[in-house]
Amino acid sequence: MCGIVGYVGQREASEVLLEGLRRLEYRGYDSAGVSILNGTGLQLRKAVGRLANLERELAATPLHGHVGIGHTRWATHGAPSVRNSHPHLSYDGKLSIIHNGIIENYRELKNELLAQGVKFESDTDTEVVAHLVERAYQGDLLKALAEVLPRLRGAYALALLHQDEPGRVLATRLGSPLVLGVGENENFIASDVPALLKYTRRVVFPEEGQICEISREGVRIFSPDLKLLPAAIQTTELTLDAAEKEGFEHFMLKEIHEQPRAIAETLRGRLNEGAIDLTELALDPALINGLRRVAIIACGTSLYASMVGKYLMERFTHLPTETWSASEFRYADPVINAQTLVISVSQSGETADTLEAVKLAKASGATTISVCNVMGSSIARISAATLYTRAGPEIGVASTKAYVTQLAAFALLAVGLGRMLGTTSQQQEARIVDGLMHIPGQVKALLDKDIVAVKRCAKRYKDVFNFMYIGRHFNYPTAMEGALKLKEISYIHAEGYAGGEMKHGPLALVEGTFPTIAIAPQGGTREKLLSNVQEIRARSGVVVLVATEGDAEAAELADYLIEIPACAEELSPILAIVPLQLLAYYTATQLGRDVDKPRNLAKSVTVE
Ligand code: G6P
């Protein structure tokens, strides 16, 4: 949440900052602001709402200068307003700062500053850092920052600019993402790589606690006690094209259509002559054979992928597996030890709760594997091994291609581990490998045919207040994820339920105009779910049925029939979610919602 950018070079800093913020707007869009340093000192422009408002402001009253920082905000402390927008200034107006994260002990620090007579201009936690650093400042911003950092508790990526040191921008991170971009006579900082791609693909990922300096001359990295460290420059594989809409009306629709390619990327090099190849994880067979339990931790959509992961792990590894919402895991008393495998799942690899949960698991001696999309992300870096999903940048706030690739990754992981443990036979492995090889083509076929029922249903039911989604076993998480997609982008209340639980309460909701989306592809629970559908129909409920192609019984029961290709039941969640993503998308567009940036949400939740 919140995006930060910084620039030092020869271009107009405001243009570079706006370009960066455009790429980071997915991180928050409550307000935006920039501060630029030029001959007349620090200049600020801020605007509430979308970045377009700041762009208008800058067009009307431009700022010139070659050094600056910029921010797009997802409000935590203080309502979205100009005074709470970043950058924030120190009491003497000489220092400006931007922040992604939360300073947890800001009250205590604020009280201390108030007692010293410092006046505050905003309600934010960030402003305390501006004042603290300025009070510590004695002609060297680096020293002042290093002195203040040990006093801050929480998570942050910070960038600072000082009027008396016009040639450099400093930045640091703890628990929030930060990347440096290395150019020719110009250098950059940002929360995420896409903000840099127009200018450079050479990047440095600083470690937690390090302090970074960018100037025209280069980038320098310091340890917390200000020892100069070597900067490990890498070249990112991401390209600007991947971060564009490519003719689609929304990123979400583009990303839905990218799913066949994304899944093929997840599988690339990992299916080898009928077998699953996990050698890249360098897993120690003795350690794997010593495992007694698995805990999977994640948030949001990644949590629903984890629920499918649990069923896959139990089927193929026979290890008792539990799924945890990362924010719950941290505050419960999870029983984790050296015989536990902790799998974390995160598209961004930066979700604060998931990151902290992995740290906790590591501290308890667990073996940690992460399933991540973003290379070099914090979670990937602290995990013992990472299975990258390789879905490419996902910009739409509602996750789509990241989800299906996480499901494919879980199939690889569960069957691969099952083979190591001897709990999965060669035949079982061959069946899943064969199924996986067909999945990208099957998703493509699904996307290529215009699913008429989806569009009809979106049109007919866009104005109802409630939707129910039901599924069983492998597709119970599909029901949860389908409901999440609808509520996050259309703002219609939707609930995902286990089909068998309907008669324990939700059936009371069913009447003539109440739509239930039932997910009943071929597999062990199809018949049971069709019985639940009968119960709904008997009460005049409307049923949208997702079933396997050619299922005549399902066709008869459905008010709206959505057919998916036949596949192994373990892989059916990958196919079944696709029409539900489209249903959410078309419902939201019919309602005129901002599909890629739904209200109150952000893509990367780097606050707890
Ligand atoms: C936010 C996003 C979701 C995502 C969740 C977890 O809520 O809007 O799309 O599923 O965070 O993010 P992660 O990056 O850890 O998968």
603 band by pLDDT with thresholds 50, 70 and 90: confident
Rounded CA-CA distance 299/504 in Å is 27
Q: Do the domain assignments include residue 603?
A: no
**Is the shortest distance between the CB of 302 and ligand 1 below 6 Å?**
yes
Range of the domain at 407: 251-447
Q: Do the domain assignments include residue 317?
A: yes
Mean pLDDT score, 196-202: 96
**Is the shortest distance between the CB of 346 and ligand 1 below 6 Å?**
yes
The pLDDT tens digits for 80-89 are: 899 999 999 9
- Specify whether 155 is located in the same domain as 261: no
**Is the shortest distance between the CB of 605 and ligand 1 below 6 Å?**
yes
Strands lying side by side in the sheet with 515-520: 493-498, 466-471, 515-520, 542-548, 560-564
Q: How far is the CA of 561 from the centre of ligand 1 (A)?
A: 30
Atom of ligand 1 nearest to the CA of 399: 9
- Specify whether 30 is located in the same domain as 86: yes
Mean pLDDT score, 554-573: 96
**Is the shortest distance between the CB of 300 and ligand 1 below 6 Å?**
yes
Q: Bin 247: left if φ > 0, else alpha if -120 < ψ < 50, else beta.
A: left
Mean pLDDT score, 352-357: 94
Q: Is the pLDDT of residue 450 over 80?
A: no
Q: Do the domain assignments include residue 606?
A: no
75 band by pLDDT with thresholds 50, 70 and 90: confident
The pLDDT tens digits for 219-264 are: 999 999 999 999 999 999 888 877 778 889 999 999 999 999 999 9
Q: How confident is the prediction for the chain on average, in pLDDT? A: 94
Q: How far is the CA of 398 from the centre of ligand 1 (A)?
A: 8
- Specify whether 572 is located in the same domain as 493: yes
Q: What is the pLDDT of residue 97?
A: 98
Q: Is the pLDDT of residue 307 over 80?
A: yes
pTM of the model: 0.84
Would strands 275-276 and 169-174 be described as parallel, antiparallel, or unpaired?
Answer: unpaired
Q: How far is the CA of 298 from the centre of ligand 1 (A)?
A: 9
b/e sequence 186-214, b meaning 16+ C-beta within 10 Å: bbbbbbbbbbbbebbbbbbbbeeebbbbb
Q: Which of 21-30, 91-100, 345-354, 362-371 has the lowest mean pLDDT?
A: 21-30
Q: What is the pLDDT of residue 26?
A: 81
Q: Is the pLDDT of residue 373 over 90?
A: yes
* CATH number of the structural domain spanning residue 567: 3.40.50.10490
Q: How far is the CA of 301 from the centre of ligand 1 (A)?
A: 6
Q: How far is the CA of 62 from the centre of ligand 1 (A)?
A: 36
The pLDDT tens digits for 273-297 are: 889 999 999 999 999 999 999 999 9
Q: Do the domain assignments include residue 601?
A: no
- Is 567 an annotated catalytic residue? no
Q: How far is the CA of 489 from the centre of ligand 1 (A)?
A: 14
Q: Is the pLDDT of residue 607 over 80?
A: no
Q: Is the peptide bond before 87 cis (omega within 30 degrees of 0)?
A: yes
Rounded CA-CA distance 451/542 in Å is 18
Residue nearest to atom 8 of ligand 1 (CA): 603
Rounded CA-CA distance 325/328 in Å is 5
Q: What is the pLDDT of residue 513?
A: 84
Q: What is the pLDDT of residue 449?
A: 86
Is the pLDDT higher at 389 or at 512? 389
- Specify whether 392 is located in the same domain as 460: no
End residue of a domain, out of 243, 262, 295: 243
Q: What is the pLDDT of residue 293?
A: 97
Atom of ligand 1 nearest to the CA of 602: 8
Question: What is the radius of gyration, based on Cα positions, of the chain?
Answer: 25
**Is the shortest distance between the CB of 598 and ligand 1 below 6 Å?**
no
Phi, psi (degrees; rounded to nearest 5) at 506: -60, -25
Q: What is the pLDDT of residue 247?
A: 84
The pLDDT tens digits for 122-161 are: 999 999 999 999 999 999 999 999 999 999 999 899 999 9
Mean pLDDT score, 23-42: 90
End residue of a domain, out of 414, 447, 480: 447
- Specify whether 260 is located in the same domain as 220: no
Q: Do the domain assignments include residue 495?
A: yes
Q: Do the domain assignments include residue 596?
A: no
Of the candidates 2, 299, 372, 567, the residue annotated as catalytic is: 2
- Specify whether 239 is located in the same domain as 359: no
- Specify whether 160 is located in the same domain as 266: no
Of the candidates 46, 310, 597, 603, the residue annotated as catalytic is: 603
**Is the shortest distance between the CB of 173 and ligand 1 below 6 Å?**
no
Q: In total, how many domains does the chain have?
A: 3
* CATH number of the structural domain spanning residue 76: 3.60.20.10
Q: How far is the CA of 497 from the centre of ligand 1 (A)?
A: 21
**Is the shortest distance between the CB of 354 and ligand 1 below 6 Å?**
yes
Q: What is the pLDDT of residue 402?
A: 98
**Is the shortest distance between the CB of 299 and ligand 1 below 6 Å?**
yes
Rounded CA-CA distance 379/591 in Å is 37
End residue of a domain, out of 214, 243, 272: 243
**Is the shortest distance between the CB of 603 and ligand 1 below 6 Å?**
yes
Q: What is the pLDDT of residue 166?
A: 93
Contact between 602 and 397 under an 8 Å Cβ cutoff? The reply is: yes
Q: Directed axis angle between helix 259-267 and helix 401-421, to 10°?
A: 20
Atom of ligand 1 nearest to the CA of 488: 8
Rounded CA-CA distance 56/48 in Å is 12
- Is 2 an annotated catalytic residue? yes
